[in-house]
Amino acid sequence: MQLIVVADGQVVPELPAVARSLASRDEPVEAVAFAGTGVPAGDVAGELGGYGVSRLHVVRHELLDEYGPEAWGSALATVIDWLGPAGVLASASHRDTEVLTHAAARAGLPLATNCVRLAGEEDGSGAWRLTRTRSGGVLLEDAELTAPVKLATVAAAVETPQVPLQPADCEVTESAVDVPPELARTRVAERVASETGLSLSTAPVVVSGGRGVGGAEGFVVLEELAERLGGVVGCSRVATNNGWRPHRDQVGLTGTKIAADLYIACGISGATQHWVGCMDSAAILAINTDPEAPMMQRATYAVEGDVHEVVPAVLAEIRRRADGAAGSGRSGVEEPAPAGSSRR
Amino acid sequence: MDIVVCIKRVPAFGAQVPLTDDGLAVDTRHLGFTIGPHEECAVEEAVRLAAAHGGRVTVLTVGPEEAGEQLRYALAMGAHQGVLVDTGTTDLDPEATATAVLAGLADEPAPDLLLFGDASADAGHGQVGVRVALACGLPIVGGVTGIEAESGAVPENGAVAENGAVTENGATLRATRDTPGGTEVFGLSVPAAVAVKEGLNLPRYPTLPGRLKAKKAALRTVTCGPEPGGLRTLGLRRPADDRAGAIPLGRGADAAPAVVDVLAELGKV
Ligand SMILES: Cc1cc2nc3c(=O)[nH]c(=O)nc-3n(C[C@H](O)[C@H](O)[C@H](O)COP(=O)(O)OP(=O)(O)OC[C@H]3O[C@@H](n4cnc5c(N)ncnc54)[C@H](O)[C@@H]3O)c2cc1C
């Protein structure tokens, strides 16, 4: 059996395909969820069935009603012991990864995190061949996973295998599981909802500044540009380390990984640790005095120049065109979008 | 509060990542090294906690002899002693690394707090903290960007602290972390383990006297050749970069019209 872990309550479509490709002909693909997952088991089962998953095991214990990495990981280790699957897959989300890591440690099994490719044995060894990302995606690591039960988390960027998935009636099986009472110690004690509104990871436009911005006050024009474009401000680690911006604005390996429609890098050189944070953006505009800077080479568009001149000039041009549009009486008449938007 | 911080020596590369000819590792011959940023924050937090609540900070690293350089940096930041678990390399799988960390902890007094970085900056497996904590019988929470020790509040054995955490021998920690669904708060009683992320604090730069003192400090070295675990690296490679070169939009302020044309094309103005 190949087992899919649904700790987050979200069924990632790639997982059943990867699991199917790793399974032998008649081997079933099943799934496990926790009573506290937060989504009705029937809904999860319905979705999984569509991807050919034939059974959903829902594990229950009062300690599983609220999330706790140790309790959930312990429950998963027990389920792995019961079912004896050949492979166990989860998404690379924060919670899925955490639960799998705890289960792996408890079961004494290896775990491959952040896999972008997984394939079964090639040589009869029973090992999995896989590729995982390192350093946030700067490097790819080819590796071999050998274990009685193989555990892996699958990154969103995984190569989805082309395997037919026969829709199945996914049966729900509820089971009580033992959880050591002391594991209550790491249950979430309190939750604070995240602020609504645009965040760095979801904003369609990010206007980011690095050393070239020169100081905290240099970010004022970047704020203005971000607001104009319906986005937020980001920064490099140099800006964070100098105390110009809070760390939650940092883009990169040890900051936030973004995939914006447009990333504007102002005075940022493009070190790999920064690049991995912004490289998934659809378009990148670099503004830099140094035409040889890596960001200037790898971006989609490049402006050679001083941020302190270029950004104000861009803002002035945006204002000029908006005023022009308003002046000609075209604003907001023929389209519902805000004045000046998407007019070619 | 006695604290052990586990740190990793990682290469600090720039715009390109050089690989060795056999493709098995990063070619570090011409690279500098650093403590992983998450772990640097762990060291800073430990030094602050020890300053506020008393206790000693021990830094521990698994790697080649040269990783002593990172231990000394942490000592210069204010840690009190360093333990080098000499495995000859940092390129170990997560199970082997955990075994080596445990070998280094074996002769240390059990700490009140064991700190890790959330994931190493190079291999990024993110497993060592959990494996070590479990072997030590300690609770662990990862991804933490806020730690508050209930200062002075030392409830009696088994007493319930304000934040609901049951304490056995005193201090309680309030650990917070950001998840896509919002902030999660944990109440931990020591002894406990926490894996932290950059953003927890702004690490200090070592002072010159700190550096000089650290240079002379004796490190405890433990030699360890851990059994490999089940995940074996076969090779490293760089992902294909299929981006075409950047389209130049001009120089300085004169580029503004071309930039706004692009913004309009992308539907952003
Ligand atoms: C393990 C590790 C993890 C890291 N994680 C991150 C991370 O998450 N995020 C991150 O950003 N970095 C990270 N870094 C740091 C990274 O390696 C770089 O040091 C950092 O990204 C550089 O920031 P920068 O581009 O702002 O500064 P610099 O590299 O100094 O570049 C400044 C750029 O600004 C240009 N410039 C200067 N003046 C002007 C001007 N007036 N107008 C226009 N351009 C100008 C220069 O030509 C230069 O290209 C990490 C490093 C390590 C070792």
Do residues B228 and B97 touch, judged by C-beta distance below 8 A? Answer: no
Confidence of residue A266 (pLDDT cuts 50, 70, 90): very high
Helix crossing, B94-105 with B128-136: angle to 10°?
A: 40
* Euclidean distance between CA atoms A298 and A279, whole angstroms: 9
Higher-confidence residue: A228 or A39?
A228
Q: Residue A268, SS3?
A: coil
Answer yes or no: do B140 and A69 touch at CB < 8 A: yes
Please state, for a pLDDT cut of 70, what percent of chain A lies above it: 94
* Euclidean distance between CA atoms B105 and B135, whole angstroms: 11
Do residues A33 and A61 touch, judged by C-beta distance below 8 A? Answer: no
* Euclidean distance between CA atoms A204 and A82, whole angstroms: 45
pLDDT of the residue at B213? 95
Answer yes or no: do A106 and B252 touch at CB < 8 A: no
Q: Which residues of A touch B17 (CB under 8 A)?
A: 135, 138-139, 272
A115-153: per-residue pLDDT in tens? 999 999 777 778 999 999 998 899 999 999 999 999 999
Q: Of B10, B203, B202, B197, nearest to B118 (Cα)?
A: B197
Does the pLDDT at position A183 exceed 90? yes
Interface of A with B in 287-306 (CB under 8 A): 294, 296-306
Q: Which residues of B touch A310 (CB under 8 A)?
A: 252-253, 255-256, 259
**List of domains in chain B:** 3-265 (3.40.50.620)
Q: Of B9, B16, B253, B166, nearest to A185 (Cα)?
A: B166
Tokens 């204002």 belong to A319
- Locate all alpha helices (DSSP H) within chain B, ordered by sequence: 37-53, 68-77, 94-105, 128-136, 208-216, 256-265
Answer yes or no: do A192 and B238 touch at CB < 8 A: no
Answer yes or no: do A272 and B264 touch at CB < 8 A: no
Nearest-Cα distance to chain B for A14, in Å, is: 20
* DSSP code for B166: B
End-to-end Cα, chain B, rounded Å? 55
User: Which protein residue's CA is at the shortest distance from atom 7 of ligand 1?
Assistant: A252
Answer yes or no: do B253 and A305 touch at CB < 8 A: yes
Higher-confidence residue: B218 or A340?
B218
Does the pLDDT at position A332 exceed 80? no
Confidence of residue A335 (pLDDT cuts 50, 70, 90): very low
- Which of A137, A145, A185 is closest, CB to CB, to B139? A185
Answer yes or no: do B15 and A272 touch at CB < 8 A: yes
Interchain CB contact of A17 with B (< 8 Å) = no
Interchain CB contact of A147 with B (< 8 Å) = yes
* Euclidean distance between CA atoms B235 and B23, whole angstroms: 5
- Which of A142, A147, A341 is closest, CB to CB, to B267? A341
Looking at domain A2-186, its CATH superfamily turns out to be: HUPs (3.40.50.620)
Return the CATH architecture of domain A205-327. Answer: 3-Layer(aba) Sandwich (3.40)
Residue A51 tokens read as 């991807």
Domain ranges of chain A: 2-186, 205-327
Q: Is the peptide bond before A246 cis (omega within 30 degrees of 0)?
A: no
ipTM of the complex: 0.92
Residues contacting residue A71 through CB under 8 Å, at least 6 positions apart: A61, A63, A64, A179, A183, A184, A186, A187
User: Which protein residue's CA is at the shortest distance from atom 4 of ligand 1?
Assistant: A273
Indicate if A205-327 has the same CATH topology as A2-186: yes
B143-152: per-residue pLDDT in tens? 999 999 975 4
pLDDT of the residue at A40? 82
Answer yes or no: do B199 and A248 touch at CB < 8 A: yes
- Which of A229, A246, A297 is closest, CB to CB, to B269? A229
Please state, for a pLDDT cut of 90, what percent of chain B lies above it: 86
Interface of A with B in 229-288 (CB under 8 A): 229-230, 237, 240-241, 243, 246-248, 250, 253-255, 261-262, 269-273, 275, 283, 285-286
Confidence of residue B160 (pLDDT cuts 50, 70, 90): very low
Confidence of residue A341 (pLDDT cuts 50, 70, 90): very low
pLDDT of the residue at A342? 40
Enumerate the β-bridge partners of residue A140. A133, B237
* Euclidean distance between CA atoms A194 and A260, whole angstroms: 20
Do residues B43 and B205 touch, judged by C-beta distance below 8 A? Answer: no
Interchain CB contact of B22 with A (< 8 Å) = no
Q: What pTM did the predictor assign? A: 0.92
What Cα–Cα distance (Å) separates residue A246 from each residue in A14, A234, A249, B202?
Answer: 35, 10, 6, 10
Residue A254 tokens read as 């040890």
CA of residue B41 to ligand 1 center, whole Å = 19
B61-108: per-residue pLDDT in tens? 999 999 999 999 999 999 999 999 999 999 999 999 999 999 999 999
Q: Which residues of A touch B163 (CB under 8 A)?
A: 189-190
